Structure 1
Amino acid sequence: MLYAIMCEDVDDSLPLRQAARPAHLSRIQHLVDEGRLLAAGPHPALDTEEPGAAGFTGSLIIADFDSLEAAQAWADSDPYMAAGVFRQVIVKPYKRVLP
Protein backbone atom coordinates (compact mmCIF):
# COMPACT_ATOMS: atom_id res chain seq x y z
CA MET A 1 0.00 0.00 0.00
CA LEU A 2 1.06 3.58 -0.56
CA TYR A 3 1.95 5.83 2.38
CA ALA A 4 2.54 9.58 2.52
CA ILE A 5 5.46 10.66 4.68
CA MET A 6 4.94 14.36 5.43
CA CYS A 7 7.88 16.06 7.07
CA GLU A 8 8.16 19.52 8.60
CA ASP A 9 11.61 21.08 8.92
CA VAL A 10 13.06 22.86 11.92
CA ASP A 11 13.83 26.56 11.41
CA ASP A 12 16.97 27.29 9.39
CA SER A 13 17.32 23.65 8.31
CA LEU A 14 19.28 24.30 5.10
CA PRO A 15 22.78 23.58 6.52
CA LEU A 16 21.49 20.40 8.16
CA ARG A 17 19.83 19.34 4.90
CA GLN A 18 22.97 19.98 2.88
CA ALA A 19 25.10 17.87 5.21
CA ALA A 20 22.72 14.89 5.22
CA ARG A 21 21.47 15.15 1.62
CA PRO A 22 23.76 12.54 -0.01
CA ALA A 23 22.74 9.84 2.50
CA HIS A 24 19.07 10.88 2.26
CA LEU A 25 19.07 10.72 -1.55
CA SER A 26 20.88 7.38 -1.55
CA ARG A 27 18.13 5.97 0.65
CA ILE A 28 15.41 7.39 -1.62
CA GLN A 29 17.21 5.84 -4.61
CA HIS A 30 16.66 2.39 -3.07
CA LEU A 31 12.90 3.02 -3.23
CA VAL A 32 13.28 4.07 -6.88
CA ASP A 33 15.34 0.97 -7.71
CA GLU A 34 12.72 -1.25 -6.07
CA GLY A 35 9.88 0.46 -7.99
CA ARG A 36 8.27 1.63 -4.75
CA LEU A 37 8.51 5.42 -5.07
CA LEU A 38 5.56 7.40 -6.40
CA ALA A 39 6.86 10.90 -5.59
CA ALA A 40 9.41 12.64 -3.39
CA GLY A 41 10.64 16.17 -2.92
CA PRO A 42 11.04 19.17 -0.65
CA HIS A 43 8.72 22.12 -0.03
CA PRO A 44 10.59 25.33 -0.98
CA ALA A 45 10.35 28.12 1.60
CA LEU A 46 9.64 30.58 -1.23
CA ASP A 47 7.31 30.33 -4.21
CA THR A 48 10.09 29.17 -6.51
CA GLU A 49 11.76 25.86 -7.32
CA GLU A 50 15.14 27.24 -6.24
CA PRO A 51 14.65 29.12 -2.94
CA GLY A 52 18.37 29.71 -2.39
CA ALA A 53 19.34 30.58 1.18
CA ALA A 54 15.66 30.53 2.26
CA GLY A 55 15.84 26.75 1.98
CA PHE A 56 12.92 24.41 2.52
CA THR A 57 10.11 23.97 5.02
CA GLY A 58 9.67 20.22 4.74
CA SER A 59 9.44 17.22 2.45
CA LEU A 60 6.91 14.80 1.04
CA ILE A 61 7.56 11.17 0.14
CA ILE A 62 4.88 8.87 -1.25
CA ALA A 63 6.02 5.27 -1.47
CA ASP A 64 4.86 1.68 -1.24
CA PHE A 65 5.43 -0.14 2.06
CA ASP A 66 4.10 -3.41 3.48
CA SER A 67 2.38 -1.66 6.40
CA LEU A 68 1.97 1.59 8.26
CA GLU A 69 4.48 0.32 10.80
CA ALA A 70 7.03 -0.37 8.06
CA ALA A 71 6.51 3.10 6.57
CA GLN A 72 6.89 4.71 10.01
CA ALA A 73 10.06 2.73 10.73
CA TRP A 74 11.51 3.76 7.38
CA ALA A 75 10.69 7.42 8.07
CA ASP A 76 12.14 7.24 11.58
CA SER A 77 15.47 5.99 10.25
CA ASP A 78 15.87 8.63 7.52
CA PRO A 79 19.23 10.46 7.60
CA TYR A 80 17.38 13.78 7.80
CA MET A 81 15.83 12.60 11.08
CA ALA A 82 19.24 11.70 12.50
CA ALA A 83 20.62 15.08 11.37
CA GLY A 84 17.83 17.02 13.09
CA VAL A 85 16.32 18.40 9.86
CA PHE A 86 12.74 17.41 10.72
CA ARG A 87 10.69 18.90 13.55
CA GLN A 88 7.77 16.58 12.85
CA VAL A 89 7.03 13.60 10.64
CA ILE A 90 3.53 12.30 9.96
CA VAL A 91 3.00 9.01 8.15
CA LYS A 92 -0.45 8.20 6.75
CA PRO A 93 -1.93 5.69 4.31
CA TYR A 94 -2.36 7.23 0.87
CA LYS A 95 -4.86 6.25 -1.80
CA ARG A 96 -3.92 7.28 -5.31
CA VAL A 97 -6.98 8.25 -7.32
CA LEU A 98 -5.61 10.42 -10.15
CA PRO A 99 -3.94 10.15 -12.58
Structure 2
Amino acid sequence: MLFALICNDKPGHLQLRMDTRPDHVAYLTGLNDKGVLKIAGPFLDPDGKPNGSMLVVEAENEEAARAIAAGDPYAMAGLFASTDIRPWNWTFNKPEGA
Protein backbone atom coordinates (compact mmCIF):
# COMPACT_ATOMS: atom_id res chain seq x y z
CA MET A 1 0.00 0.00 0.00
CA LEU A 2 1.25 3.51 -0.80
CA PHE A 3 1.36 6.38 1.69
CA ALA A 4 2.12 10.06 1.17
CA LEU A 5 4.20 11.59 3.96
CA ILE A 6 3.65 15.35 3.96
CA CYS A 7 6.09 17.05 6.30
CA ASN A 8 6.16 20.76 7.13
CA ASP A 9 9.33 22.31 8.54
CA LYS A 10 9.31 24.45 11.64
CA PRO A 11 9.75 28.08 10.58
CA GLY A 12 13.29 29.37 10.80
CA HIS A 13 14.91 25.92 10.73
CA LEU A 14 16.58 26.01 7.30
CA GLN A 15 20.05 25.57 8.81
CA LEU A 16 18.92 22.44 10.68
CA ARG A 17 17.58 21.09 7.38
CA MET A 18 20.87 21.79 5.61
CA ASP A 19 22.97 20.33 8.44
CA THR A 20 20.87 17.14 8.53
CA ARG A 21 20.50 16.77 4.75
CA PRO A 22 23.38 14.28 4.19
CA ASP A 23 21.86 11.85 6.71
CA HIS A 24 18.37 12.41 5.26
CA VAL A 25 19.62 11.66 1.73
CA ALA A 26 21.40 8.52 2.96
CA TYR A 27 18.17 7.39 4.67
CA LEU A 28 16.15 7.95 1.48
CA THR A 29 18.80 6.14 -0.57
CA GLY A 30 18.42 3.13 1.73
CA LEU A 31 14.62 3.22 1.37
CA ASN A 32 15.02 3.47 -2.40
CA ASP A 33 17.42 0.53 -2.49
CA LYS A 34 14.80 -1.56 -0.64
CA GLY A 35 12.06 -0.52 -3.09
CA VAL A 36 10.17 1.33 -0.34
CA LEU A 37 10.62 4.90 -1.61
CA LYS A 38 8.58 5.74 -4.70
CA ILE A 39 9.03 9.53 -5.00
CA ALA A 40 10.41 12.28 -2.79
CA GLY A 41 11.27 15.94 -2.83
CA PRO A 42 11.12 19.18 -0.90
CA PHE A 43 8.40 21.80 -0.78
CA LEU A 44 9.72 25.28 -1.56
CA ASP A 45 8.93 28.68 -0.11
CA PRO A 46 8.37 31.74 -2.35
CA ASP A 47 12.15 32.32 -2.41
CA GLY A 48 12.80 28.77 -3.64
CA LYS A 49 14.20 27.54 -0.32
CA PRO A 50 13.06 24.17 1.06
CA ASN A 51 10.47 24.32 3.81
CA GLY A 52 9.05 20.80 3.93
CA SER A 53 9.13 17.39 2.31
CA MET A 54 6.83 15.03 0.49
CA LEU A 55 7.60 11.33 0.19
CA VAL A 56 5.55 8.50 -1.19
CA VAL A 57 6.47 5.18 0.35
CA GLU A 58 5.22 1.63 0.09
CA ALA A 59 4.37 0.16 3.48
CA GLU A 60 2.29 -2.71 4.81
CA ASN A 61 0.04 -0.39 6.78
CA GLU A 62 -0.17 3.08 8.31
CA GLU A 63 1.80 2.02 11.39
CA ALA A 64 4.69 0.92 9.16
CA ALA A 65 4.48 4.20 7.22
CA ARG A 66 4.62 6.10 10.53
CA ALA A 67 7.74 4.14 11.47
CA ILE A 68 9.37 5.12 8.18
CA ALA A 69 8.50 8.77 8.82
CA ALA A 70 9.81 8.61 12.39
CA GLY A 71 13.11 7.11 11.21
CA ASP A 72 13.85 10.02 8.88
CA PRO A 73 16.84 11.98 10.22
CA TYR A 74 14.90 15.21 9.63
CA ALA A 75 12.15 13.97 11.94
CA MET A 76 14.67 12.69 14.49
CA ALA A 77 16.41 16.10 14.49
CA GLY A 78 13.11 17.85 15.25
CA LEU A 79 12.88 19.67 11.91
CA PHE A 80 9.20 19.05 11.26
CA ALA A 81 6.37 21.08 12.76
CA SER A 82 3.91 18.48 11.46
CA THR A 83 3.79 15.24 9.51
CA ASP A 84 0.62 14.08 7.80
CA ILE A 85 0.49 10.46 6.64
CA ARG A 86 -2.21 9.55 4.14
CA PRO A 87 -2.97 6.47 2.05
CA TRP A 88 -2.27 7.36 -1.57
CA ASN A 89 -3.21 5.92 -4.96
CA TRP A 90 -0.78 6.45 -7.86
CA THR A 91 -3.21 6.91 -10.74
CA PHE A 92 -1.40 8.82 -13.49
CA ASN A 93 2.13 8.65 -14.91
CA LYS A 94 3.14 5.68 -12.80
CA PRO A 95 6.38 4.24 -14.23
CA GLU A 96 6.37 0.59 -15.18
CA GLY A 97 7.47 -1.58 -12.28
CA ALA A 98 6.76 1.11 -9.69
Q: Assess same fold via TM > 0.5.
A: yes
Other structure's SS at 1:31 match: helix
Residue deviations 1:19-51 (CA, integer Å, cap 9, x gap):
11111111100121112222101011126xxx2
Other structure's SS at 2:17 match: helix
RMSD of aligned alpha carbons: 1.3
Q: Which residue of 1 aligns with 2:10?
A: 10
* 1:27 pairs with 2:27: yes
Output the TM-score relative to the length of structure 1: 0.86
Q: Which residue of 2 aligns with 1:77?
A: 71
Residue 6 of structure 1: how far off its partner (Å): 0.3
Q: Which residue of 2 aligns with 1:94?
A: 88
Percent identity over the alignment is 35
Other structure's SS at 1:38 match: strand
Output the TM-score relative to the length of structure 2: 0.87
Unmatched 5+ residue regions in structure 1? none
Other structure's SS at 1:6 match: strand
Unmatched 5+ residue regions in structure 2? 94-98
